[in-house]
A = this chain, B = another copy of it.
């Protein structure tokens, strides 16, 4: 059966424009009128496609998160070792947000607007995959390839937040980078370097599995 083309196109166009506008000006800062104007229909017509502003918001957010349902499993299962899996994760997250920085902006806004709700979503959908990564890190730690002081769950969490934050807000700090052509990407590249450098044991000069006495733990 041939799908009706124009109606589908209109609903999709509304979703795209809403995503862009919510990301740039926030949910409360974007009226249904300006979304309707952006696609060239009346506000009341928008409400035929999405029955309320809240419904549109959820469709926008779903459209963002849905991407990971396939991508994340594929990327993580393709890689074998813990280090490779983290590389895969970083690569996927990097590509996804670089493709359209509005994704990072929107995600950050949603987290700020409804933290507990977003936490629930993240916990439910991501926990098993994060487990895969942290298991790999712990294995790497036992085998001496990964730094002993790494806190696996916190490492993954901090890394993801930092990447999203850098894409969402990087241009601001980019003012400090001088006249760099792409300050955001340069910031994220440095972030990825930091992530790798602070994960792997690099100065493995001696084959000893031991490294650095854990002297300066401050909270016992």
A residues with a Cβ closer than 8 A to B are 25-29, 105, 108-109, 111-113, 115, 118-120, 122-123, 126-127, 130, 147, 149-151, 153-158, 160-162, 164-166, 168-178, 183, 186-191, 193-198, 201-206, 212
Contacts and interface: CB of A to CB of B under 8 A. Distances in A.
Contacts of A206: 205
Given A28-B29, A108-B108, A108-B112, A176 B157 contact: yes
A60 to B, nearest CB: 15
Given A158-B162, A188-B158, A198-B197, A176 B130 contact: yes
B175 A123 contact: yes
12 contacts: A25-B28, A26-B26, A26-B28, A111-B169, A130-B176, A157-B176, A158-B162, A161-B170, A165-B169, A196-B198, A201-B203, A203-B203
- Most interface-central of A112, A178, A198 (chain B CB within 10 A): A112
Contacts of A187: 154, 157-158, 161
A112 B169 contact: yes
Nearest to A177: B153
Contacts of A27: 29
B161 A164 contact: no
Given A113-B29, A197-B198, A173 B189 contact: no
A109 B115 CA distance: 14
A161 B154 contact: no
